[in-house]
């Protein structure tokens, strides 16, 4: 089971570190990270393994959203199934 | 390791965040056939017990899925067996008790609506039907989250003109007794021809008798997504537009399919259907009218609107069908006036009238939906509008519906404010020449020749 974390907003020092720290806290293993600049916006996409998490997946999403709010970034944590179903036939 | 490219992921997020993509509703259909009892109090107890048992986790599960997939689920709803069937055996003749019971169950479960205060009278009235229909105005005024529908015709049976005549009066009465509350009563009442039995959308949802005991149906909403997709191709030909809509509808519907199957799995209830309809909301950027305008019309309602809507409706179905294992409900494009910012603008600028809306209903999924009419409209005129709409449905083998709201004490140029998903509706002009003689004849319009298929 994997989830996709996306961070969209203005680039800043330490975003990756802060997001991965929270992932580590909940034992969500970061498997891959890509970064790109799209329409002047910084976008970071992380794929994390959520099968061995030590708490509910939803809690991780809430925590990351909170972080996003304090940093002025929009952080979404979504189960990979949604991308599978939308973009794969 | 990343199976998707960044573009795909960001596209999904943009759809949800900027283009109002959401799941409009997860609707749990619940059969009440095993709650029938000759004692109305006992029957109501059973109804309450069954709904609150089956749907106790519906809202919780919906909220869980919202968080897990990051996709908003706007409403959680319940549809039940048409109450006229359940109340038929009761010795007590006023079925409003059932409406109050449904309201209590809605409050307990925390759902937004329960639909099914309904009667199916396309060929005639059976026990319980007339009593239920007569009780609709009271039922809608003493409850807030209960929806009612009456099926007055079908392609197979023709149109029950006695029921059509009745419904004109019921709609007017329902507006009158809720006049101090924006005439909200008839906003929760739909008159159908060819009503589907697995529709997740309100106000017309009910749980048909051929359905399983309990089932999950899903309705999606994504007009904003379709519009943005078209906007990216200003010089595309019509075939290309159709293709763009198809691809977008596929993605939207896949999401509905995912949410529906997940909900059904979590609730331990079979998954019924995904309704492909693009349901608009009054929010800016979530309008079906704006899609038509993006295709190339200065304003929705001008000449060309019917053709553009036909194209949209067809492409949505073609894209959606492949995305879902089971498609059902209304599945098409909704064109409610008060719930769609673009439709409201089109009415206000004089581009869209009730006649054009009627023509549009011949090629879209539903009918004359959420249309506010002057408060002095006669019941016969309402009935005649219903008859016209039912005739379009009957002859074209499609669902049509009428949800008119007489704005008591108001006239053209004024507005009713419903709030929430129901939006606000400008009062629209109707033809005032009388159809009273036609409506007073009663009887039944025979089914069309092409209904005899066997």
Instruction: Give the tens place of pLDDT for each residue, B3-21.
Output: 678 888 888 988 988 888 8
Where does the pLDDT of residue A61 fall: very low under 50, low under 70, confident under 90, or very high at 90 and above? very high
Domain count, chain A: 1
Residues of B in contact with A77 (CB under 8 A): 70
Summarize the confidence of residues B31-45 as an average pLDDT.
96
pLDDT at residue A88, as a whole number: 84
Q: How far apart are CA B77 and CA B200, in angstroms?
A: 8
Q: Do B12 and A82 touch (CB under 8 A)?
A: yes
**Does A14 score more than 90 pLDDT?**
no
CB atoms within 10 A of CB B135: 23
Chain B residues 245-284 with a CB less than 8 Å from chain A: 251, 254-255, 257-258, 262
Q: How far apart are CA B80 and CA B1, in angstroms?
A: 46
Distance of residue A24 Cα from the nearest chain B Cα, in angstroms: 19
List, as one string, the DSSP characters of B55-85: TTTHHHHHHHHHHHHT--EEEEEEEES-HHH
Per-residue pLDDT of B158-211, as tens digits, reads 999 999 999 999 999 999 999 999 999 999 999 999 999 999 999 999 999 999
Please report where in the chains the tokens 């809690």 appear, as a residue: A59
Per-residue pLDDT of B440-450, as tens digits, reads 999 999 999 99
| Portion of chain B with pLDDT greater than 70, in percent | 99
Q: Do A36 and B6 touch (CB under 8 A)?
A: yes
The β-bridge relationship of strands B400-407 and B73-80 is: unpaired
Given a contact cutoff of 8 angstroms between Cβ atoms, the answer to whether B106 and B227 are in contact is no
Which residue of A6, A34, A84 is in closest CB contact with B13? A6
pLDDT at residue A33, as a whole number: 92
The β-bridge relationship of strands A41-49 and B73-80 is: unpaired
Q: Do B9 and A83 touch (CB under 8 A)?
A: yes
Task: For an interface test with B, give the residue of A32, A48, A78 to mutate (most B CBs within 10 A).
Answer: A78
Q: How far apart are CA B16 and CA B22, in angstroms?
A: 7
Summarize the confidence of residues A6-24 as an average pLDDT.
90
Q: Which stretches of B110-221 are DSSP H helices? A: 129-142, 161-177
Q: Do A74 and B17 touch (CB under 8 A)?
A: yes
pLDDT at residue B81, as a whole number: 97
Average pLDDT score, chain A:
90
Q: Do B69 and A79 touch (CB under 8 A)?
A: yes
Q: For helices B341-348 and B288-295, give the axis angle rounded to 10 degrees.
A: 70
Residues of A in contact with B14 (CB under 8 A): none
**Does B2 score more than 60 pLDDT?**
no
Where does the pLDDT of residue B355 fall: very low under 50, low under 70, confident under 90, or very high at 90 and above? very high
Q: Which residues of A touch B (CB under 8 A)?
A: 4, 6, 8, 31-32, 34, 36, 38, 43, 45, 47, 57-58, 61-62, 74, 76-88
Summarize the confidence of residues B29-36 as an average pLDDT.
97
Q: Do A81 and B69 touch (CB under 8 A)?
A: yes
| Burial of residue B223, with CB atoms counted within 10 A of its CB: 0-12 exposed, 13-18 middle, 19 or more buried | buried
**Does B132 score more than 90 pLDDT?**
yes
Distance of CA A44 to the CA centre of its chain: 8
| Burial of residue B454, with CB atoms counted within 10 A of its CB: 0-12 exposed, 13-18 middle, 19 or more buried | exposed
What is the CATH number for A55?
3.30.70.260
Domain that holds residue A42: 2-86
Distance of residue B217 Cα from the nearest chain A Cα, in angstroms: 18
Query: A40: which residues sit within 8 A by CB, 6+ positions away?
Result: none
pLDDT at residue B333, as a whole number: 83
From A36-50, B26-40, B224-238, the region with the lowest mean pLDDT: A36-50
Average pLDDT score, chain B:
94
Residues of A in contact with B254 (CB under 8 A): 85-86
For the full predicted model, state whether its pTM sits above 0.90. yes
Given a contact cutoff of 8 angstroms between Cβ atoms, the answer to whether A60 and A22 are in contact is yes
Residues of B in contact with A73 (CB under 8 A): none
Tell me the two tokens of residue B163: 């029921």
Backbone angles phi, psi at B2, to 5 degrees: -75, 115
| Burial of residue A71, with CB atoms counted within 10 A of its CB: 0-12 exposed, 13-18 middle, 19 or more buried | middle
Which residue of B1, B2, B255 is in closest CB contact with A85? B255
Which residue of A32, A83, A84 is in closest CB contact with B1? A32
The H helix count followed by the E strand count for chain B is 15, 13
CB atoms within 10 A of CB B49: 12
Residues of B in contact with A43 (CB under 8 A): 6, 10
pLDDT at residue B319, as a whole number: 93
Which residue of A4, A31, A86 is in closest CB contact with B251? A86
Encode B157-188: b = buried (16+ Cβ within 10 Å), e = exposed.
bbbbbbbbbbbbbbbbbbbbbbbeebbbbbbb
| Burial of residue B351, with CB atoms counted within 10 A of its CB: 0-12 exposed, 13-18 middle, 19 or more buried | middle
Per-residue pLDDT of B253-264, as tens digits, reads 999 999 999 999
Q: How far apart are CA B315 and CA A7, in angstroms?
A: 34
pLDDT at residue A38, as a whole number: 66
Where does the pLDDT of residue B47 fall: very low under 50, low under 70, confident under 90, or very high at 90 and above? very high
Q: How far apart are CA B171 and CA B386, in angstroms?
A: 11
* Of A65, A51, A52, the residue nearest A22 (C-alpha): A65
Q: Which stretches of B268-340 are DSSP H helices? A: 288-295, 305-323
* Of B229, B266, B282, the residue nearest B418 (C-alpha): B282
Please report where in the chains the tokens 């869209």 appear, as a residue: B352
Q: How far apart are CA B128 and CA B123, in angstroms?
A: 15
Residues of B in contact with A32 (CB under 8 A): 1-2
Q: How far apart are CA B355 and CA B32, in angstroms?
A: 39
B427 or B282, which is more confident?
B427
Residues of B in contact with A4 (CB under 8 A): 4, 9
pLDDT at residue B3, as a whole number: 67
Residues of B in contact with A88 (CB under 8 A): 3
**Does A39 score more than 70 pLDDT?**
no
Q: Do A82 and B258 touch (CB under 8 A)?
A: yes
Per-residue pLDDT of B359-392, as tens digits, reads 999 998 688 999 999 999 999 999 999 999 999 9
pLDDT at residue B5, as a whole number: 80
Give the chain A residue nearest B248 (alpha carbons): A86
Where does the pLDDT of residue B25 fall: very low under 50, low under 70, confident under 90, or very high at 90 and above? very high
Residues of A in contact with B1 (CB under 8 A): 31-32, 47
Given a contact cutoff of 8 angstroms between Cβ atoms, the answer to whether B389 and B166 are in contact is no
């Amino acid at each position: 089971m994997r989830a996709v974390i996306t961070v969209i907003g203005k680039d800043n020092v330490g975003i990756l570190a802060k997001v991965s720290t929270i992932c580590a806290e909940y034992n969500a293993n970061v498997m891959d990270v890509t970064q790109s600049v799209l329409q002047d916006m910084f976008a970071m996409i992380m794929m994390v393994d959520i099968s061995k998490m030590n708490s509910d997946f939803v809690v991780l999403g809430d925590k990351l959203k909170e972080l996003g709010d304090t940093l002025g970034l929009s952080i979404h944590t979504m189960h990979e199934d949604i991308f599978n179903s939308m973009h794969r036939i | 390791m990343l199976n998707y490219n960044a573009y795909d992921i960001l596209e999904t997020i943009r759809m949800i965040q900027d283009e109002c993509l959401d799941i409009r509703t997860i609707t749990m259909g619940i059969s009440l056939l095993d709650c029938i009892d000759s004692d109305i109090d006992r029957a109501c107890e059973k109804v309450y017990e069954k709904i609150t048992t089956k749907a106790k986790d519906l809202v919780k599960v919906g909220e869980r899925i919202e968080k897990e997939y990051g996709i908003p689920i706007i409403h959680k709803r319940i549809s039940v067996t048409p109450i006229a069937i359940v109340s038929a055996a009761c010795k007590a003749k006023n079925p409003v008790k059932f409406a109050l019971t449904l309201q209590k169950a809605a409050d307990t479960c925390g759902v937004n609506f329960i639909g099914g205060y309904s009667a199916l009278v396309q060929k005639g009235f059976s026990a319980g039907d007339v009593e239920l229909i007569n009780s609709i105005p009271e039922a809608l005024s003493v409850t807030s989250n209960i929806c009612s529908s009456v099926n007055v015709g079908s392609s197979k049976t023709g149109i029950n003109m006695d029921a059509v005549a009745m419904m004109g009066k019921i709609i007017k009465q329902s507006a009158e007794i809720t006049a101090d509350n924006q005439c909200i009563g008839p906003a929760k009442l739909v008159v159908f021809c060819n009503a589907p039995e697995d529709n997740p959308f309100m106000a017309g949802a009910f749980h048909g008798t051929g359905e399983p005991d309990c089932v999950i149906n899903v309705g999606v909403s994504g007009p904003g997504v379709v519009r943005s997709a078209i906007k990216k191709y200003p010089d595309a030909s019509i075939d290309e537009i159709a293709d763009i809509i198809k691809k977008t509808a596929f993605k939207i519907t896949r999401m509905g399919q995912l949410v529906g199957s997940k909900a059904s799995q979590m609730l331990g209830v079979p998954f019924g259907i995904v309704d492909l309809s693009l349901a608009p909301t009054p929010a800016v950027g979530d309008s079906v009218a704006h899609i038509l305008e993006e295709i190339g019309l200065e304003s929705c309602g001008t000449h060309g609107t019917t053709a553009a809507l036909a194209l949209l409706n067809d492409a949505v179905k073609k894209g959606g069908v492949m995305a879902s294992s089971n498609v059902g409900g209304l599945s098409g494009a909704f064109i409610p006036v008060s719930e769609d910012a673009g439709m409201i603008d089109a009415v206000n600028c004089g581009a869209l009238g009730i006649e054009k809306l009627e023509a549009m209903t011949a090629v879209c999924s539903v009918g004359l939906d959420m249309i506010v009419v002057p408060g002095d409209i006669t019941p016969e005129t309402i009935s005649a509008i219903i008859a016209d709409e039912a005739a379009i449905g009957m002859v074209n083998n499609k669902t049509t519906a009428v949800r008119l709201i007489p704005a008591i004490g108001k006239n053209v140029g004024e507005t009713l404010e419903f709030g929430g998903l129901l939006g606000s509706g400008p009062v629209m002009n109707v033809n005032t020449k009388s159809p009273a003689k036609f409506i007073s004849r009663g009887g039944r319009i025979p089914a069309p020749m092409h209904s005899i298929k066997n």
